Structure 1
Amino acid sequence: MAGFRDHGLKPVDQLALPHPAVTLLLEFGPRSALIDDAAGQWHGSLVAGLGTGTRRVRGEQIECVQIRLSPLIAASMLGVSLPELSDSVVPLDAVWGREAGWIREQLAETHSWTERFAIVEALLTHRGACRPSVDPELTWAWRRIRSGHGLVRIDALADEIGWTRKRLWSRFHTQFGLPPKRAATLIRFDHAVHRLAAGADPARVAAETGYADQSHLHREIVAFTGITPHAVADESWLAVDDIAWPTTPQHPR
């Protein structure tokens, strides 16, 4: 969880890159951000599912709490299956109904970020209680892919679980909204672009993150984002990513 506030010095114009998490945006400021992607435009509180789309965030006087939810818990907390959100943006009203308006009012009326984080955490905890959880085999598989930065063989995962490759593909897609190989590709991409943002040499990043060569890394980053590895490395979002998303909520940037 992180809080963001636009101080009004200049309009926000930020590229939001694909990330291996479900993103929940809770707005409560005087104006709403405009979210652009290939499918259209959205504003207000929203949910962005797992996928490969790059989105641009624009606006002024924006205040929001943004949460990245692991796919292991996202469906239970949101009350919607992840395939319904896959690679798409959905207005929060369509997911939570009146509760979306209630949480906006609560956040707007609260002047402490610590209290806002507590309100959001309490709501998500309440929503996630007594709801179906992810299969334990898939929980293990997702964590294995994440810990390996995407460098895992899907056949080997299936063997370790004791499932067939076809069953793993089917159950993974049903519960996470994308197949395991695509999840591994997304996680590898995320690891690589963070290495680039930290100043690592592209050739070394390609070699150490499982790409065939630097050209392969270049092609995949362009496919995910529409921009080059050099441009991705300069994205301010990545530069603060490890600061804005630690294990504890952060005050606004």
Structure 2
Amino acid sequence: MGAETDDLLWDIVCPARPIRMPGVTMAGFRDRGITPPGLRLIPHPAVALVLVFGGTIVVEDTTGRQQHGSFVTGLGFGERLAALRVDAFECLQVRLSPVVAHAVLGGVVADLDTTAVTLDDLWGRESARISERLGDLPSWADRFAWVDAWLARRCAASSRVAPEVAWAWRRIDASRGTVRIERVATELGWSRRQLWSRFRSQVGLSPKRVAKLVRFDHAVHGLVAGQNAAGVAADSGYTDQSHLHRDVMAYTGLTPATVVDEPFLAVDDIAWGWPGPVRK
């Protein structure tokens, strides 16, 4: 499926066939030459692989470090990430649930809290081979199929998160971030400290921060869909509208009234079939 409308910054292509692995979504992006500098990437509850195979993308993370080319971000990527420069790029973006991300990326997931990491730094020469392969393939369908198979191979050869951690993620996700973490620990038969430690070491964030991110993600998409802020706050489990305002500001630097115009949020229904994050 492709999207080519005059009000979009990018041409967007989605897989026509289901991805074989639960917890994985993909979309292809082609710059239309009008992407503004300093564009914010809005946090979402998934690890993102951005596989660049044409043009240039330069991003800056919350540490002020600039990254060139293909990169990976952690859950929420430190609350803010900006694309400083984009030049006629093409990329295939993959969103991974934290459960799948651990299998694909291994222990590095736990170190992605406040940074974006280039795939050159993470995988060395393999990063260049991935970009070259994607650039050589003749169609988006071929690229999606190749990345799907590549991810399956990586997962098959890697360790998975503990079943209890995977269950805790699904519990938080299904509740849209509103379940109390103490209750999750009780349902698992774990202490709060045990859940915190195991979850943080394998997912990269504490369960409370993940719940906060999941809740924000659902709330901000409610705003984009045209719901009023008071209703979104009530439906999303915020104590009041001011609580929602603080979370939106913390994650984006914008107010609930202005965040709805962010380009990356505006295309989520096209690229990712919103509503709903990747699961498993």
| 1:39 aligns to 2:63 (yes or no) | yes
Match of 1:20 in 2: 45
RMSD, matched Cα: 1.4
| 1:55 aligns to 2:81 (yes or no) | yes
Match of 1:6 in 2: 31
What is the deviation of 1:12? Answer: 4.1
Q: 2:197 aligns with which of 156, 170, 173?
A: 170
1:194-238, Cα deviation, whole Å (9 max, x unpaired): 000111000110111111111111111111111111111111211
What is the deviation of 1:37? Answer: 3.0
SS in structure 2 at match of 1:200: coil
- Over 6 Å off, 4+ runs: none
Equivalenced residue count is 245
What is the deviation of 1:79? Answer: 3.5
1:40-77, Cα deviation, whole Å (9 max, x unpaired): 22110011111342222231201000001111011211
Distance 1:82 1:23 in 2: 11
| 1:73 aligns to 2:100 (yes or no) | yes
Distance 1:128 1:12 in 2: 36
| 1:181 aligns to 2:208 (yes or no) | yes
1:70-123, Cα deviation, whole Å (9 max, x unpaired): 110112112443112123100101222211111111111112000011111111
Match of 1:251 in 2: none
Corresponding letter in the other structure for 1:34: V
Match of 2:228 in 1: 201
Distance 1:34 1:80 in 2: 25
Distance 1:202 1:46 in 2: 34
1:143-174, Cα deviation, whole Å (9 max, x unpaired): 01001000001111111111111100110111
Residues 80 and 101 (structure 1), Cα distance of their counterparts in 2 relative to 1, 3 Å cut? farther
SS in structure 1 at match of 2:75: coil
Match of 1:250 in 2: none
Corresponding letter in the other structure for 2:266: A
* Conserved 8 A contact 2:107-2:202: no
Corresponding letter in the other structure for 1:50: L
Distance 1:214 1:246 in 2: 27
Distance 1:32 1:182 in 2: 32
Query: TM (normalized to structure 2)?
Result: 0.84
Distance 1:22 1:96 in 2: 16
SS in structure 1 at match of 2:257: helix
Single out whichever of 53-62 and 167-176 deviates more from structure 2: 53-62
* Conserved 8 A contact 1:79-1:95: no
Q: Which consecutive residues of structure 1, in runs of 5 or more, have no partner in the other structure?
A: 248-253
* Conserved 8 A contact 2:28-2:93: yes
Distance 2:114 2:45 in 1: 11
Q: 1:85 aligns with which of 109, 112, 137?
A: 112
Q: Which consecutive residues of structure 2, in runs of 5 or more, have no partner in the other structure?
A: 1-25, 275-280
Distance 1:237 1:173 in 2: 27
What is the deviation of 1:15? Answer: 1.8
* Conserved 8 A contact 1:32-1:43: yes
Single out whichever of 113-122 and 10-19 deviates more from structure 2: 10-19
Query: TM (normalized to structure 1)?
Result: 0.93
Distance 1:69 1:87 in 2: 17
1:18-41, Cα deviation, whole Å (9 max, x unpaired): 111101010011x21111233222
Q: Identity over aligned residues, as a percent?
A: 52
Q: 1:112 aligns with which of 131, 139, 151?
A: 139
